[in-house]
Structure 1
Amino acid sequence: MSAAALVPVALVGALVGLVVPSLARRFTTPPELTRAGLEPRPGGWAWLSPVVAAVVFAGLAVARGDDPALPVFLAVAAVGLVLAGIDLACLRLPDPLVLAAGLLALGGLTGTALLAGTPGRLLGALAGAAVAGAAHLLLALLPGSRLGFGDVKLAAVLGLPLGWLGRDALLAGLLLPHLLHGGVVLGLLAARRVRRDTLLPLGPALLAGAWLAVLLG
């Protein structure tokens, strides 16, 4: 993708990043969270959101500039940024937003496959969702697992665009999130910022790993 085309995509990403904090706050202050003791932590990351979103959008544009499904990837990324903010704030991945991301991915990829005459890529996307969802469901069912079913559903959604790209991207998208999450956990433990029993969000790692898998693919 040329620089002239890349700049507008990055600017759109920055604009998306401006509204991400306010959208995330809508899902982090419901009464049931307060009753459960899951008070959202202060959103000091808000100023960084436009920068992160611009980088995410620009990276996708560079990696997938020739793919007719690029708008679908950008739409899923936009919802994913909101989900990451919510999960960081209160360890929660709201079903309506995960469903919205899934519908955007499925509907967009279906339309792209039909218009491009490549139904095989749609089958790959569906297979990716099934594999990613099943793998994380098994992880969630393991004794002592801290993987939530919100993470399982998000992994299945992210399997759609990863499966669209093929086996290598899907495998990278399955492995990278857990490598990233493990590295962060080890770093926080070494810095004594958390304890071994501290619950940490996996959603941001799932999203970041999927993004890196797209870039590498």
Structure 2
Amino acid sequence: MFDTAAAGSASPLFIVGVGFAGLCLGLIADALVRRVLPQLAGEATTRLRITTAAVTFVLSALLAWRFGSAAELPAYVLLGIFAVPLARIDIEHHLLPNRLVGPLLGAGLALLAFASLAQGAVGDLIRGAAGSAILFVLYLILALTSRNGLGMGDVKLAAPLGLYLGYLGWAQVFYGGALAFVVGGLASVVLVLKNRGNKPKEVAYGPSMLAAGLAIILLLP
């Protein structure tokens, strides 16, 4: 079981420390993304680097507040670090590269497996794997049956999100998946209003999935 005693009991110093650690790791990850995917990473401007550092710091600090010193913390900080370049690339290119989604799933599975073994909670890991499969299949069905909707990148991203949500509980899987559609719908409305009533041909859905998943992870007990 998830260590609720460790969650929410972290000191401010610990939270800030994890935030700075996430910031540093986020900048390293950003540099690696630029090396591996130079055509997608975009220009490394000072503004972009500051934004990346700030968002990663906030996400890592919030996750430290949520999980405290629980063994699951590194896995969820990893999710926060990956979420930043994934969202940025999807917004700019309408693409969720396999070279980011695949490692997020693999590394997340490894870190959560370690956490579950350390706490004798293998059932949480099994539920996470089931959540990953369920969300993946659900998104695949929606992608195959909807017009101008989900892309295969969104389907692939559903697998690691389902893993992280499922590890915490079935309620997280349900609400994380449902909230993603709500956030995605709101984002589409905002884009239509911004474009003066002209609906864009493509709407990046990955950021909505990531934002919804992280919100549920942070807020749902």
With normalisation by structure 1, the TM-score equals 0.86
1:162-211 Cα deviation digits (max 9, x unpaired): 00100111112101222112112101211226732421211111111110
Residues 192 and 200 of structure 2 are in contact (CA less than 8 Å); yes or no, is this contact kept in structure 1?
no
Map residues 39-188 of structure 1 onto 2, 5 A cutoff. 45-188=48-191
Indicate yes or no: 2:218 matched with 1:209: no
Question: What displacement does 1:14 show?
Answer: 2.3
Residues 17 and 51 of structure 1 are in contact (CA less than 8 Å); yes or no, is this contact kept in structure 2?
no
1:192 aligned to 183, 191, 195, which one? 195
1:10 aligned to 19, 39, 45, which one? 19
Change (3 A) 1:81 1:202: same
SS in structure 1 opposite 2:39? Answer: coil
Give the aligned residue type for 2:153: G
Which moves more between the two structures, 168-177 or 11-20?
11-20
Change (3 A) 1:68 1:198: same
Give the aligned residue type for 1:177: A
1:13-32 Cα deviation digits (max 9, x unpaired): 222343455444442517xx
Identity across matched positions, percent? 31
Cα separation, 2, equivalents of 1:119 and 1:6: 27
With normalisation by structure 2, the TM-score equals 0.85
Residues 191 and 199 of structure 2 are in contact (CA less than 8 Å); yes or no, is this contact kept in structure 1?
no
1:29 aligned to 35, 39, 43, which one? 39
Residues 177 and 206 of structure 1 are in contact (CA less than 8 Å); yes or no, is this contact kept in structure 2?
yes
Cα separation, 2, equivalents of 1:201 and 1:24: 19
Change (3 A) 1:153 1:117: same
Change (3 A) 1:196 1:40: farther
Residues 148 and 202 of structure 2 are in contact (CA less than 8 Å); yes or no, is this contact kept in structure 1?
no
Question: Any unmatched runs of 5+ in structure 2?
Answer: 1-9
Question: What displacement does 1:67 show?
Answer: 2.9
SS in structure 2 opposite 1:29? Answer: helix
Question: Any unmatched runs of 5+ in structure 1?
Answer: 31-38
Cα separation, 1, equivalents of 2:65 and 2:74: 13
Residues 18 and 61 of structure 2 are in contact (CA less than 8 Å); yes or no, is this contact kept in structure 1?
yes
Change (3 A) 1:177 1:122: same
Residues 72 and 105 of structure 1 are in contact (CA less than 8 Å); yes or no, is this contact kept in structure 2?
yes
